[in-house]
Structure 1
Amino acid sequence: MGKKGFVRNNVNQFAVLYRFLDLLIIQVCLLLSAQLYGIPLTMHYYLIGLIACVAFLFSAEMLWLYRSWRAGSMKEILFVASMSHLLMISVVVGWMFISKTSDDFSRVVITLWFSLSWITSCVWRATFRYFLFRIRKNGFNTRSVAIIGANDTARELAKEICNTPEIGYNVLGVYDDRAPERLTIPDGLELQGKINELYDDVNSGKVDMVFISLPMTANRRIEQILRVLGDTPAQVHLVPNFFVYNLLHSRICNVGELQTVSVFDSPMKGAMNFLKRVEDIILASAILAVIAVPMLFIAAAVKLTSRGPVIFKQNRYGMDGKKIKVWKFRTMTVTEDGDEVKQATKNDSRLTPIGGFLRRTSLDELPQFINVLQGTMSVVGPRPHAVAHNEMYRKKVEYYMLRHRIKPGITGWAQVNGWRGETDTIDKMQMRIQYDLEYIKNWSLWLDFKIVIFTFFKGFVGNNAY
């Protein structure tokens, strides 16, 4: 008997096929590369082929490449597949270096092998995904869906299904026992009848999947429904009504044999935390190598144009609400870091002669790449606020402190969407928090990559940065 209450994570039904094809592609591309260049395969090549397969499977599992991508974007799939190949390449090249066997291999063959396997893996994934989407949009490979409970949760569920026809779900309608005046029927759907009528539709083969969207307070009614549906061939899914609220990276967790649902959690767990840290070290090191000389000129300008330290270290909240010291080039004649910190405003009298320019162009934040190497900040994440501002806004903006479920960043989703600089109204801060939480909910290496690119085009300057 399995664990009581065990819930499996959603997996791709083609995952076994995907794994087999990925390993086959790696081996075939190695053979093809050697054939094209006209060299025989020795035991050394067979060995690195085996190492590559193991490394790719490990990387793919770590990055969840084989999870269900029904609702994922094509760009994200290809990005994760590419990252898996990049990690595989790193392992193979690392092994060649450590074993001192790089001279035993043709650099042309190895380069061609890496390129062919990566391109082939991405092409066949894109082709197969396009094929599945097309047949589902045309009514093939679909599943008929019924929703129990005419409420706001059902409305949100129906909207998501309608907005993503490629997942292949066809909602037949809603079933509910309550009086019509108490129901919230989703747009475009009809009330099919009472819940007892659903049982007949399931047994007749009219319904393949059932989503139960009743509130958690109706646990006895849900238990009764599950007992009856347990004697039918339908797949049954529970959609607790708390999913209509502001969940943050929710996931199934285990406490012994008891399962829980995390409501407010961080995406930085295990391998994801490691990958985020590797990303930060690589980006921060590369950027610091480029900006080191400009930073020296900025430091000299700060020192020559006003009295005081070049670097201003201000207390701010980091991950999990712990205080950190954030480095900035000093842009004001004062170094406020107490219980009350006034935000910079237009034509602020406290600004140094070059302070306004540094703040508008975000050049004052360049020393924060040192914070990234220290591990207190990330290149991408919610911007850290002064402690005084945190204490003020956490009482006025819902879910404000959830932004600390991840390390603060030099740039972020809110900043590239125009929400940077002064927040002189609660509405502005609410919008910034909305984008911060959206970033945490949807975090991925691909999203970080997009934000870094967007920052170069529109993240350095803004109308509200003074």
Structure 2
Amino acid sequence: MGKKGFVRNNVNQFAVLYRFFDLLAVQLCLLISAEVYGVVVSQQYYFISLIACLAYLFSAEMLWLYRSWRAGSMKEILFVASISHLLMMAAVMCWMFISKSSEDYSRLVIALWFVSSWLVSCTWRVAFRYFLFAVRRNGRNTRYVGIIGANETGLELTNEIRRTPEAGYNVVGVYDDRDADRTVIPEGLQSLGAIDQVYHDVLTGKVDTIFITLPMTANKRIEKILQILGDTQAQVHLVPNFFVYNLLHSRICNVGELQTVSVFDSPMKGAMNFLKRVEDIILASIILTIIALPMLVIAAAVKLTSKGPIIFKQNRYGMDGKKIKVWKFRSMTVTEDGDKVTQASKNDARITPVGAFLRRTSLDELPQFINVLQGSMSVVGPRPHAVAHNEMYRKKVEYYMLRHRIKPGITGWAQINGWRGETDTVDKMKMRVQYDLEYIKNWSLWLDFKIVLMTVFKGFVGKNAY
């Protein structure tokens, strides 16, 4: 087996069925929508349904919608299906615009078609998913798992499998050559013997899925195991013990025919970067429309109550550590931006009366939605710190600069969890950085929406903000 393509995604045995139902939903929903509004389905409607089907299939394949979701969450499945559907809708609308044929179609039919086909696509996935859950809980459609390596990685893997019983994995036991006092056998599991026993158990059907959790230093042993299992029909998964390292966001990369694993990567790559940007533009545009009048009132209050500019632009580190100008309503009589670190503190004499209110309620940060539209910031992300803060804390807090693998945000995971405002100790900064890195590791659009909603309800006022 060549190196290229060694790591492959498991092929979903229901992939053909999924594709069939998706295309059927697109076609039938168009016919039903036309019937509802009494519109005759002409060749033009059949043509855009063909475009929709091709666009949906292309989007779904690009986003790996038809991969195995045995261990995936329902939320992830519906999210990817919804994005595929959104791209299908965009393709149809683009065709109508380019061909100047939008007047040939009923807007009500098209709108009902888009909504109904999306609902049907999501609904049948939920129903089929729960059907599989029920089947697997009864012991059918189940994979019998053997874990090679009675160690911390094997224990972590066992716990993950136990947390998702609906995935249909049944851990039979653990294989290890070492003495019992040197192994970690998860509670409730049996030792299946030495590693040499694996081949026999696979042939007899005792196990049909193998997870290898040996340390990376055991490369010769792993190579021998792979050679042995290559003579069987078992599904074999290699689980590198990366969890012992503080990885940020990892993915498999190809350098020619050699595969590598990036360990400090950004989740904002390719389609995900595009989706994040679309999210930012939509949210920032909506919010700026809503807050335009309050911003004018605040601007007038700042100008009338103290001397100086209305907007204060301060240097911050943005994505990849590049300097950006962050906009804020001026809240102080003195606007320092040098090498000295002077954080705002309680009863700070530099803060104006209006500025105190703005800082306490975070209203001084509203102009940063303009930064979002400019592309230097995101609505959600790690809060940008002053350049002087970065230079000081990068020497005191491990992995501090990894915060800059994504764009800084107006609100973030750290802020809604109580780490907002002054960070006057290294321990406080460590906690903020910890939450920032957790956000990057677990980023999704769902998490962004959750943070935005939590910010609306509890994030504008903080006890440490002054």
TM-score range, shorter chain: over 0.9
Distance in 1 of aligned mates of 2:68 and 2:389: 41
For residues 66-145 of structure 1, what are the structure 2 equivalents within 5 Å? 66-145=66-145
Number of residue pairs aligned between Structure 1 and Structure 2: 466
State the shift of 1:71 in Å: 3.5
Give SS of 2:254's match.
strand
Give ranges in structure 2 of 5+ residues lacking alignment: none
Summarize the Cα distance change of 1:188–1:106 in structure 2 as closer, same or farther, 3 Å threshold: same
Q: Describe the superposition over 1:330-372 as per-residue Cα deviations: whole angstroms up to 9, x where unpaired.
A: 1122212222222222222221111221112111111111111
Match for residue 378 of structure 1? 378
Match for residue 47 of structure 1? 47
- Residue range with higher mean Cα deviation, 94-103 or 19-28: 94-103
Summarize the Cα distance change of 1:386–1:13 in structure 2 as closer, same or farther, 3 Å threshold: farther
Distance in 1 of aligned mates of 2:2 and 2:175: 32
- Return the TM-score normalized by structure 2: 0.95
For residues 250-289 of structure 1, what are the structure 2 equivalents within 5 Å? 250-289=250-289
Match for residue 221 of structure 2? 221
Summarize the Cα distance change of 1:426–1:133 in structure 2 as closer, same or farther, 3 Å threshold: farther
Match for residue 398 of structure 2? 398
Distance in 2 of aligned mates of 1:175 and 1:27: 51
State the shift of 1:10 in Å: 4.5
Distance in 1 of aligned mates of 2:69 and 2:202: 27
Q: Residues 327 and 365 of structure 2 are in contact (CA less than 8 Å); yes or no, is this contact kept in structure 1?
A: yes
Give ranges in structure 1 of 5+ residues lacking alignment: none
The residue type equivalent to 2:208 in the other structure is: D
Distance in 2 of aligned mates of 1:194 and 1:411: 52
State the shift of 1:85 in Å: 2.1
Summarize the Cα distance change of 1:98–1:233 in structure 2 as closer, same or farther, 3 Å threshold: closer
Distance in 2 of aligned mates of 1:154 and 1:145: 12
The residue type equivalent to 2:83 in the other structure is: M
Match for residue 349 of structure 2? 349
Match for residue 38 of structure 1? 38
Q: Residues 62 and 271 of structure 1 are in contact (CA less than 8 Å); yes or no, is this contact kept in structure 2?
A: no
Matched, 1:428 2:412: no
State the shift of 1:378 in Å: 0.9
Distance in 2 of aligned mates of 1:128 and 1:5: 31
Q: Percent identity?
A: 79
Q: Describe the superposition over 1:418-439 as per-residue Cα deviations: whole angstroms up to 9, x where unpaired.
A: 2211223333322222222222
Distance in 2 of aligned mates of 1:228 and 1:132: 32
- Residue range with higher mean Cα deviation, 10-19 or 412-421: 10-19
- Residue range with higher mean Cα deviation, 262-271 or 73-82: 73-82
The residue type equivalent to 1:377 in the other structure is: M
Q: Residues 149 and 175 of structure 1 are in contact (CA less than 8 Å); yes or no, is this contact kept in structure 2?
A: yes
Q: Residues 145 and 209 of structure 1 are in contact (CA less than 8 Å); yes or no, is this contact kept in structure 2?
A: yes
Match for residue 365 of structure 1? 365
Runs of 4+ in 1 over 4 A off after TM superposition: 1-5
Match for residue 152 of structure 1? 152
Match for residue 26 of structure 2? 26
For residues 171-210 of structure 1, what are the structure 2 equivalents within 5 Å? 171-210=171-210
Give SS of 2:150's match.
coil
Summarize the Cα distance change of 1:178–1:458 in structure 2 as closer, same or farther, 3 Å threshold: same
State the shift of 1:3 in Å: 5.6
Q: Describe the superposition over 1:376-396 as per-residue Cα deviations: whole angstroms up to 9, x where unpaired.
A: 111111111111222222222
The residue type equivalent to 1:53 in the other structure is: C
Distance in 2 of aligned mates of 1:12 and 1:429: 44
The residue type equivalent to 2:103 in the other structure is: D
Match for residue 407 of structure 1? 407
The residue type equivalent to 1:147 in the other structure is: I
State the shift of 1:139 in Å: 2.3
Distance in 1 of aligned mates of 2:300 and 2:319: 32
- Return the TM-score normalized by structure 1: 0.95
Q: Residues 252 and 259 of structure 2 are in contact (CA less than 8 Å); yes or no, is this contact kept in structure 1?
A: yes
Give SS of 1:324's match.
strand
Q: Describe the superposition over 1:222-254 as per-residue Cα deviations: whole angstroms up to 9, x where unpaired.
A: 112222222222221111122332222211110
Summarize the Cα distance change of 1:59–1:118 in structure 2 as closer, same or farther, 3 Å threshold: same
State the shift of 1:2 in Å: 5.8
Summarize the Cα distance change of 1:416–1:65 in structure 2 as closer, same or farther, 3 Å threshold: farther
Summarize the Cα distance change of 1:6–1:91 in structure 2 as closer, same or farther, 3 Å threshold: same
State the shift of 1:416 in Å: 2.1
Alignment RMSD: 1.9
Q: Residues 9 and 68 of structure 2 are in contact (CA less than 8 Å); yes or no, is this contact kept in structure 1?
A: no
Distance in 2 of aligned mates of 1:3 and 1:180: 36
The residue type equivalent to 2:263 in the other structure is: V
Give SS of 1:316's match.
strand
- Residue range with higher mean Cα deviation, 360-369 or 341-350: 341-350
Distance in 2 of aligned mates of 1:457 and 1:160: 33
State the shift of 1:67 in Å: 3.4
Summarize the Cα distance change of 1:435–1:13 in structure 2 as closer, same or farther, 3 Å threshold: farther
Summarize the Cα distance change of 1:439–1:69 in structure 2 as closer, same or farther, 3 Å threshold: farther
Summarize the Cα distance change of 1:10–1:454 in structure 2 as closer, same or farther, 3 Å threshold: farther
Q: Residues 156 and 244 of structure 1 are in contact (CA less than 8 Å); yes or no, is this contact kept in structure 2?
A: no
